[in-house]
Amino acid sequence: MIVHHHPFLAPCRFVRLALAEHQVVTDLRVEPFWEGRPEFVAVNPGLTLPMLADGRGTVIGATAAMEYIDERYGATRAGSRLMPADPFARAEVRRLVEWFVHKYEEEVAGPLVTERIIKVEMPARMGGGAPDSQAMRAARANAVAHAHYVGTLAAQRKWLAGDQFTFADLAAAASFSVVDYLGEAPWGADPAVKAWYQKLKSRPAFRPLLLDKARLVPPAAHYADLDF
Amino acid sequence: MIVHHHPFLAPCRFVRLALAEHQVVTDLRVEPFWEGRPEFVAVNPGLTLPMLADGRGTVIGATAAMEYIDERYGATRAGSRLMPADPFARAEVRRLVEWFVHKYEEEVAGPLVTERIIKVEMPARMGGGAPDSQAMRAARANAVAHAHYVGTLAAQRKWLAGDQFTFADLAAAASFSVVDYLGEAPWGADPAVKAWYQKLKSRPAFRPLLLDKARLVPPAAHYADLDF
């Protein structure tokens, strides 16, 4: 399975985690999406990452990829399937995945990664350059509000979407992980969110994410520590 | 089935169309989401519309609602199910639904509806007031680019996602319909997109949308005409 991705886009990390949880062997290809390479635009006009390609077809975007992974590989997890069976539990997983893939991405992870990683890699003529401190301040304030929300869920439920470990935990952890790389995760804001993230970070599927390095931006000192 | 919605949010229209295509009887409740009513925030902290509630549970957001409708009512459509059976065809439907629920909404329908309808209904202390002409200009330019993309799909395929009529057609038509209400749909930009929309507009499920009226903003003269 070829995975076209960017290591610091949270929706790509979510799908890498989901594939790893299903033991799918992947061939990761980094796509510099801001370049809009014509060969890539031709198959993916929205330049949406991740994109899965397995020789028979393509699956574009984290939401479609989650459903594809569950439909194709979900049965291999038997009693620990990442999409629950109950219709309303499924809806809750999908609501939370959407929350992280879109809302958290727009309000927190996307701006922080764009300002601190992507703009450093991007040439100035494509919009690269120094981070916008106003965008960073807004994203940091949002990060605290989101940490409180996730902390509330983590305190009330066994896992974020309910009693069962699901795709929602992977989507949320993927989002927190890129913010944590940058040292911007407000772990002090909520003890429940930190305890929940610690469980996620210890999973074998998480290891490759903890080895990711941005070319010009080193990870926060505690990034790969399971005890942070 | 109670549907908490706003008549001019395209993701809500998409779900109304999907429910109507499955003959589900609905009880529509307009939610003035910008007010952030505490009772609504308590069940729906992201203030995401639409929200379905059928007495047994809630389903929040257009993507979760689409999957719920397919899982619960899809079988009633037998040979004309709105989600195809092939895994990659499903992924293509989901890619396009995401395109309209998120990308088109952010770039075209959301800004036009916010500036021309929502801000007129909203009190000034909540951000109501005169439309922002710069936001309108950007959305109009984006509307033309999106019309060309949809026109290309409509010209190459029988329906937007392929040979089969799917949720992707409903999501796209819902988005075009709010823009068309405002007289902002660039029908001249692409003959294929107009011909495709005409087919959608003629479906019985579409009728209630053509009767929607914003309190202070009348529809474009051709809005309800099947021959526009």
Identity of the residue in B45, B48, B95 whose CB atom sits nearest the CB atom of A60: B95
What is the rounded end-to-end Cα distance, in angstroms, of chain A?
33
CA distance, residue A71 to nearest chain B CA (Å): 8
| CB-CB neighbours of A79 under 10 Å | 5
Distance from CA of B142 to the nearest CA of A (A): 13
Phi/psi of residue A42, each to 5°? -60, -35
Over residues B42-79, the pLDDT tens digits come to 999 999 999 999 989 999 999 999 999 999 999 999 89
Enumerate the H helices of chain A as residue ranges.
10-21, 38-43, 62-73, 87-98, 110-113, 119-121, 133-156, 167-181, 191-201, 207-211
**pLDDT (mean) for B98-117:** 97
Is residue B98 classed exposed, middle or buried when 0-12, 13-18 and 19+ CB atoms within 10 A define those classes? buried
Residue B154 is predicted with a pLDDT of 97
CB–CB of B64 and A88 under 8 A?
no
pLDDT for A27 equals 98
SS (HEC) of A94-143:
HHHHHHHHHHHHHHHHHHHHHHHHHHHHCCHHHCCCCCCHHHHHHHHHHH
Answer whether residue B127 shows pLDDT above 90. Answer: no
CA atoms within 13 A on the CB side of A7: 17
Whether the pTM exceeds 0.90: the reply is: yes
Contact A67 B45 (CB under 8 A): no
More confident position, B83 or B126: B83
- What ipTM score was computed for the predicted complex, to two decimals? 0.96
Angle, helices A62-73/B87-98, rounded to nearest 10 degrees: 160
Please answer yes or no on whether B58 and A91 come within 8 Å at the CB atom.
yes
Q: What residues are paired with A2 via a beta bridge?
A: A27, A53
Residue (of B113, B218, B83) closest to B176 by Cα position: B113
What is the model's pLDDT at position A176?
98
**pLDDT for the residue A138:** 98
Cross-chain residue pair B91–A46, CB shorter than 8 Å:
no
Distance between CA atoms of B189 and B143, rounded to whole angstroms? Answer: 10
Q: What is the pLDDT of residue B205?
A: 98
When pLDDT is cut at 50, 70 and 90, the band that residue B94 belongs to is: very high
Interhelix angle B10-21/B62-73, rounded to 10 degrees, is 0
Question: In what helix (H) or strand (E) does residue A58 lie, and over which residues does it extend?
Answer: strand A58-60
Contact A63 B63 (CB under 8 A): yes
pLDDT number for residue A57: 95
Q: Indicate the burial class of A39 (C-beta count within 10 angstroms; 0-12, 13-18, 19 or more).
A: exposed
pLDDT tens track, chain A, 228 positions: 999 999 999 999 999 999 999 999 999 999 999 999 999 999 999 999 999 999 899 999 999 999 999 999 999 998 999 999 999 999 999 999 999 999 999 999 999 999 999 999 888 988 899 999 999 999 999 999 999 999 999 999 999 999 999 999 999 999 999 999 999 999 999 999 999 999 999 999 999 999 999 989 999 999 999 888
Look at residue A121 in the predicted model and tell me its pLDDT. Answer: 86
Closest CA to A117 of A228, A4, A6: A6
pLDDT band at B27 (very low <50, low <70, confident <90, very high): very high
| Cα separation, A32 vs B199, whole angstroms | 39
Q: What is the mean pLDDT of residues B6-14?
A: 98
Q: What pLDDT was estimated at residue B228? A: 84
Distance CA A29, CA B39 (A): 46
Closest-CA residue of B relative to A55 is B88
* Average pLDDT value for residue range B191-195: 96
Q: CA of A144, closest CA in chain B: separation in Å?
A: 15
Neighbours of B94 (CB within 10 A): 27
- Average pLDDT over every residue of B183-188: 96
Token pair recorded at residue A98: 């959407």
pLDDT, residue B126, reads 86
Which whole-number Å values give the CA distances from B52 to A86, B42, B49, B61, in the listed order? 16, 15, 9, 8
| Residue among A15, A65, A63 at smallest CA distance from B64 | A63
Count how many Cα atoms sit within 13 Å of the Cα of residue A111 in the half-sphere of its side chain.
Answer: 18
Q: B1 pLDDT band (50/70/90 cuts)?
A: very high
Query: Which are the contacts of B85, defined by CB distance < 8 A and separation ≥ 6?
Result: none
Is residue B202 helix, strand or coil? coil
Reported confidence tier of residue B227, pLDDT bands at 50, 70, 90: confident
Taking contacts as CB-CB distances below 8 angstroms, the residues of chain B near A98 are 48, 61, 63-64
Whether B68 and A91 lie within 8 Å, measured CB to CB: yes
Shortest alpha-carbon distance between residue A138 and chain B (Å): 18
Residues of B in contact with A103 (CB under 8 A): 46
